[in-house]
Amino acid sequence: MNIYPPYKAALDAGAGSIMASFNEIDGVPATANKWLLTDVLRTEWGFDGFVVSDYTGVSEMINHGYGDLQYVSAKALDAGLDMDMVSEGLLTTLGNSVKEGKITEQQITEACRRILEAKFKLGLFDNPYKYCDEGRARSEVFTTENREEARSTAAQSFVLLKNKGDVLPISKSGTIALVGPLADAKENMTGTWSVAARFSESISLLEGLTKAVGTNARIVYAKGANLTENETLEANSTLFGKSLHRDKRTAAELRDEAVRISKNADVIIAAVGEAAEMSGEAASRTNIEIPETQRELLKALLKTGKPVVLVLFTGRPLVLTWEEGNVPAILNVWFGGSEAGDAIADVLYGDVNPSGKLSTTFPQNVGQVPIYYAHKNTGRPLSGPWFQKFQSNYLDVPNEPLYPFGFGLSYTQFGYGEIKLSATEITSSDSVQVSIDVTNQGKRDGSEVVQLYIRDLVGSVTRPVKELKGFKKINLKAGETKTVSFTLGMKDLSFYNSELKFVAEPGKFQVFVGGNSRDVKQTEFMLE
């Protein structure tokens, strides 16, 4: 039931349509799950928009072993599905299902009504091609204002994972060596599921760094490595025109060139990680480390004795245990979009102070997966230092992740005061105010994402050890202190019990506030 809140929040924010997922729930595919699409979505939540299947979601139920196309189509409509994407089962089989009494004309009418109402609200009855205006596209796509917004948004999403010795930000002077297969790869900047993007408009890291320094610094570049030594794997990871233009030289030749141009540099920037199509849908990996040939490049660059900054491109959490232990600075830039090159340059040069936080947990190795901050305890949670026999831990690695959920550094440092509560005992008609002072203790202005977590210590069903209940981003000048406040109401304290009722149960709650899910201040209150 912990999956509910994000979806309910989307509806509360005004979502007009919902897509059914591919997976099954309690053995019933979501596309034909009446409990999910009608009992919860429409009856309990009051949703009156339309529900669409995912791409071929209806016909894919055949492979689930759920029935033939006519059967699964009728089950989907009866469950509350209104629109069939691509499978055409609703289009081609519902007539027979009506004749056989499997569904009614009223059900078809109701599905049509929801779709037509959506089109009416969108103005498509007046202008069916309202959103297909080429003139509008020419005047609104890639405008200066939109590109500036995209650049700013990208820069705010980057997560500084390590910055030993304040290697970052770097100076716009001297010689900067840029190496790596993602350094000059504009086709990959928009990430996966961007098959119709205009790659020619994207800005590579090489372009961004060069443009930002002008004549004040010298940028030298070498590819340094292919994405992977496995040519087939690279081809499968660079689909839809996102080629990395594989270099036919040997790995040693590519590394040697990178080392040669880096020897006289003041700093080395290594652009490594995943290609855009190496993560996302239908791009699972059993090994989530940086490909070996790229790691060998990093090792060679570190041997030069020059400071190395790892600019990490990735669409998923990666295992970075070796990189964390050996590379002085790591900036995770995900895939920043068409303006990625300029946005990364803004952060590397210090024009923007990084403020992004991880929205997922990074493991120490793949064997820790699944790993997440909101886990539940076993009956024997680790109660002391690792390792303890007969307690829930690993033989070969501690339980802690490499980087916890919500983690992200800055070019300045933030200090947290003690948590203040408006009350330590509340009733079901009350709320509690949570406040804390946050101070910028460094010499640079910066932004911090203050995060609020709770733990319900005793419940009628077992509860997670932490749950994120709020976050606020604040801007602080060097030396400035601000008080950040949150309100916890009954909705925040409630959960779905074993009877699927959304309830807040009396008992003790712990409250945590900090800059990530691990490094927090703590207090508690009682719900009577």
Which pLDDT belongs to residue 137?
86
Average pLDDT, whole number, for the chain? 96
* Element of type H or E holding 330: strand 329-332
pLDDT bracket for residue 2 (50, 70, 90): low
| Pair of tokens at residue 362 | 């990074």
Burial class (CB in 10 A: 0-12, 13-18, 19+), 332: buried
Per-residue pLDDT, averaged over 44-63, amounts to 97
Q: Which CATH class is domain 151-348?
A: alpha beta
The label of the residue with tokens 């900054």 reads: 309
Instruction: Please check the confidence at residue 305 and state whether its pLDDT lies above 50.
Output: yes
Which candidate, 146, 150, 145, places its Cα nearest to that of 343?
Answer: 150
Give the distance from CA 44 to its chain's centroid: 29
Token code pair at residue 296: 């060998």
pLDDT higher than 90, residue 178? yes
Query: 322 pLDDT exceeds 60?
Result: yes
Residue 173 pLDDT:
97
Kindly give, in sequence order, each residue whose CB lies less than 8 Å from that of residue 241, ignoring residues fewer than 6 positions away.
187, 195, 199
414-527 CATH, one of 1.10.10.10, 3.40.50.12780, 1.20.1440.230, 2.60.40.10: 2.60.40.10
> What's the pLDDT tens digit per position in 83-120?
999 999 999 999 999 999 999 999 999 999 999 999 99
Q: Which of 39, 54, 78, 266 is catalytic?
A: 54
pTM of the model: 0.95
Structural domain spans, the chain: 4-121, 151-348, 414-527
pLDDT at 260 over 90: yes
So what's the pLDDT on residue 1? 46
- If we measure between CA atoms, which residue out of 279, 307, 306, 310 comes closest to residue 295? 310
CA distances from 46 to 21, 33, 38 (A): 20, 17, 9
Span 475-520, pLDDT tens digits: 999 999 999 999 999 999 999 899 988 899 999 999 999 999 999 9
The answer to whether residue 54 is catalytic is: yes
Give the three-state DSSP class for 273.
Answer: strand
Task: Say if CB 364 and CB 321 are below 8 A apart.
Answer: yes
